[in-house]
Amino acid sequence: MRVLLIHTEFFRWEPKEPAGEIRDEPNRGEAKNALVAFLTVEEGDVPDDGYLSKIVEDIIDVANKVKANSIVIYPYAHLSSRLARPYISRDILNKIYDILSANAKGFSVLKAPFGYYKQFEMKCLGHPLSELSRSYTPETAHKPGAQQPKQTPDVYLILTPEGDEYHPAQFPLDKYPDLKALVDKEVFKKELPGGEPKYIEYVKRFAFDWEPMSDVGHMRYGPDATVMMELVEDYAFQVAKSLGIPIFKIRGTNMFKLSEKPIETHAKLFGERLYVVETDVDSILRYAACFQQFAMAKDWVISYRNLPFGMLEIADSYRYEQPGETVLLFRLRRFYMPDLHIFTKNLDNAIEVTYKLHEKIFEEIRKIGRDYVSLYNITAEFYKGHKDYLVELAKREGKPVLLRILPEQKYYWVLNVEFHIIDELGRPREIATFQIDVGNAMRFGIKYIDEENKVRYPVIIHTAILGSVERYLFALFDTAALMERRGETPKLPVWITPVQIRIIPINREYLGAALDLADELENRGIRVDVDDREETLSRRIRDAEREWIPYIVAIGQREAASNIFTVRIRGKGQIQLSRQDLITTIEKEISGFPKRPLYMPRLLSQRPSYKQL
């Protein structure tokens, strides 16, 4: 940061016209006997309290020495050629103003607006200390322990279904191994068990991988992976609709301007890990669907009769994760979120909706053979007024839950529930979530008209019932890893496997019979392919097994004539099935789940080799 200090007899300014999209409210001002601090925020400057306090301390020191009455913070972009991005500059200058106002006792403190061409007038006093310039970087200037706002620590409690509260250290955690894993991580900050998870090897068979030509944490999805992703997306919509409230599916953009006040505020309340795009207007990539849905909902005319309703988008979402922290299919810089926002009349209505939501969230994870252990992040005030609600949720879970009580509302929610599975290596992994948001409706101007014709702001629930698309798939693969650990054949649910049945003609003579059976299966919405390659039968069966294909059928003379097949079912061995029974068996497995066609050519001879088996 470059600082030019000028002691003036008088100083006045007036904004003339905007210089950019990121700007403060325009104000004019003047001061007598003023120390004016012309400040240029440079690349590398950070809104760190210790750093900015050091700069403020020097400004106050000079103001004392020259016996000024006032101090003026003056955003001035001309002292350096390496300017910081506007959104960072404005943030830092406002922070300097706040720190200065809190510490410059006896001075009147003023600040000229950021983001304008400004006219100014001054009379410099011309004594030895009247003109000084300084340069700071976060590495060279730091005031230890300065200005750290006093923070009351978060309190952790274990709440039982009977309504008893325990300090985590006093609770018999050994009886609840999953909860213990969560408490170890969240409360005692214990190192998680390490090791390479098994699922990383599995997912490569399905053509999930990193995209090395992009930023870290970005994935590529081959055809197998793509059909799985899109099936989960379809399923997320289906599950949302099963909540029994009206659901609207929408699409939007992924980039939002930081110059829009509600965007900037919500982004800050979200916290760390914003993915900023530096274009001519500074923007952020959305971290979920909130921005788009709120920006849309504010333009809808909503009556109380419409509430509650949900808006769903399969949102490409971006989080600026640390490069060393990214994990394939789990912690990504870019991922897909089937993000549902439910607009409700008020807090009571929201609470009512969350009971159904909570039930769905547990129903879905149990469908894949897993269970959640829950972390309820909750503001102290909300907990005080709603302990019964939390006890009811613990009761529905049938086991104790972990609460993290925040002394103040630091984020946009009053309640944020994280549902974790304990993975194959014993580590808690957050999958599903819901949050109750009491501030964004007003911030974005989302309104509804109540029974008495009054304008009201809905309470908004943010939720991902299945979690992000990638994390839901992670949970399926992790479940397969557990099967392998138990000595079983690892497998996926049939509805989501990219190829549900493979037909192998034992030689070219039976290709016609194979294609005929494939046609019939395909007409029933079953994803079927045909291995017509010039390979031995055993080689082709082995390849199908490596691809985890749930049903494998070879067709030769006997099968073609009798329509009775020897079917290899993954994890179950071989059985004889008639053509009709084969179809019925697969249909039964996938009934109630979404269907999509095969995302690659039916004939294996037409496929390049593109995945690691």
Residue ranges that bind Zn ion, judged by CB under 5 A: 288, 290, 462
Q: Tell me if 271 sits within 8 A of 411, measured CB to CB.
A: yes
Of the two residues 34 and 459, which places its CB atom closer to Zn ion in the complex? 459
Helices H / strands E in the chain, number of each: 16, 28
CB of 416 to Zn ion, least distance (A): 11
Of the two residues 197 and 308, which places its CB atom closer to Zn ion in the complex? 308
CB of 320 to Zn ion, least distance (A): 17
How many Å apart are CA 39 and CA 113, to the nearest integer? 12
DSSP helix/strand/coil, 164: coil
CB of 433 to Zn ion, least distance (A): 9
CB of 284 to Zn ion, least distance (A): 14
CB of 273 to Zn ion, least distance (A): 15
Of the two residues 100 and 464, which places its CB atom closer to Zn ion in the complex? 464
Of the two residues 290 and 560, which places its CB atom closer to Zn ion in the complex? 290
Q: Tell me if 397 sits within 8 A of 161, measured CB to CB.
A: yes
Query: What is the CB neighbour count within 10 angstroms for residue 132?
Result: 17
Residue 453: both structure tokens together: 């014709």
Of the two residues 141 and 288, which places its CB atom closer to Zn ion in the complex? 288
CB of 270 to Zn ion, least distance (A): 9
DSSP run (H or E) holding 10: strand 2-18
CB of 85 to Zn ion, least distance (A): 25
Q: Which alpha helices (DSSP H) does 220-346 contain, by range?
A: 223-241, 261-270, 290-297
Length of the chain: 613
How many Å apart are CA 256 and CA 281, to the nearest integer? 9
CB of 338 to Zn ion, least distance (A): 12
Of the two residues 468 and 497, which places its CB atom closer to Zn ion in the complex? 468
CB of 297 to Zn ion, least distance (A): 11
Long-range contacts of 123-129 (CB under 8 A, 24+ apart): 123/8, 123/9, 123/10, 124/6, 124/7, 124/8, 124/9, 125/7, 125/8, 125/9, 125/66, 127/7, 127/66, 129/7, 129/62, 129/65, 129/66
Of the two residues 342 and 492, which places its CB atom closer to Zn ion in the complex? 342
Taking the mean position of all CA atoms in its chain, how far away is CA 596?
26
Of the two residues 290 and 469, which places its CB atom closer to Zn ion in the complex? 290
Of the two residues 112 and 290, which places its CB atom closer to Zn ion in the complex? 290
Q: For the chain, report the end-to-end CA distance as a whole number of angstroms.
A: 54
Q: Is the peptide bond before 338 cis (omega within 30 degrees of 0)?
A: no
Of the two residues 8 and 463, which places its CB atom closer to Zn ion in the complex? 463
Q: Tell me if 362 sits within 8 A of 372, measured CB to CB.
A: yes
How many Å apart are CA 184 and CA 168, to the nearest integer? 9
Q: Name residue, tokens 């050629």.
A: 81
Q: How far is CA 275 from CA 337, 356, 477, 486, 554, in A?
A: 16, 33, 28, 41, 51
Going by C-alpha positions, the residue among 313, 310, 426, 431 that lies closest to residue 366 is 431
CB of 290 to Zn ion, least distance (A): 3
3-state secondary structure 518-565: HHHHHHCCCCEEECCCCCCHHHHHHHHHHCCCCEEEEECHHHHHHCEE
CB of 439 to Zn ion, least distance (A): 12
Of the two residues 288 and 598, which places its CB atom closer to Zn ion in the complex? 288
